[in-house]
Structures are given as C-alpha cells and as structure tokens.
C-alpha cells in the first residue's frame, strides 16, 4: 500500500528537485475555525524556497475548511 508520505517525498525529491516546501495537515484532518501553525505542518522544509505546495488529501473538500486553510497558507 502506498502511504501519502511517499507521495509527498516523490513531489519533493523528483518533481520539485528539493526546491519546494510541501505543507500538509497533521493526520490529514482539517479543523473548523481559525487556522494556526499547529494546523498546517511543513513536511519538507527547504532552505531556499521558490515554491510552496499545500497537500490537502482528504475528502470531502468542504469550502469552509478550505477557505480557512488557504487564508492561512497564503499568509
């Protein structure tokens, strides 16, 4: 079985050649309400970042969750 972490590692190592930060939700579970640093983790920190990617790998994608998460992610 393919674990989601392996997909994140593939994106980081192969697709973006380690020139990216991949952010994800702890345990893949979004929460309602304000989002803070504990709600989005950096899976692969990069020293020089030219790209950031947010992996939202849960269903269903509910607009209220996504709005709060994207607002935080985009700063």
pTM, entire model: 0.66
Extract the tokens encoding 69: 């998460």
Share of residues in the chain with pLDDT > 90 (%): 0
Tokens encoding 54: 């947010």
Residue range 33-72, pLDDT digits in tens? 777 777 777 877 767 777 788 887 777 777 877 787 788 7
CB 33 within 8 A of CB 66: no
Q: Comparing 7 with 31, which gets the higher pLDDT?
A: 7
List the chain domain ranges. 4-73
């Amino acid at each position: 079985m393919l674990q989601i972490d392996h997909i994140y590692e593939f994106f980081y190592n192969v697709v973006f050649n380690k020139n990216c930060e991949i952010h994800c939700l702890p345990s893949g579970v979004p929460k309602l309400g304000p989002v803070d640093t504990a709600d989005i983790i950096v899976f692969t920190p990069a020293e020089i970042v030219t790209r950031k990617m947010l992996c939202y790998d849960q269903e269903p994608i509910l607009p209220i969750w996504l709005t709060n998460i994207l607002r935080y992610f985009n700063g």
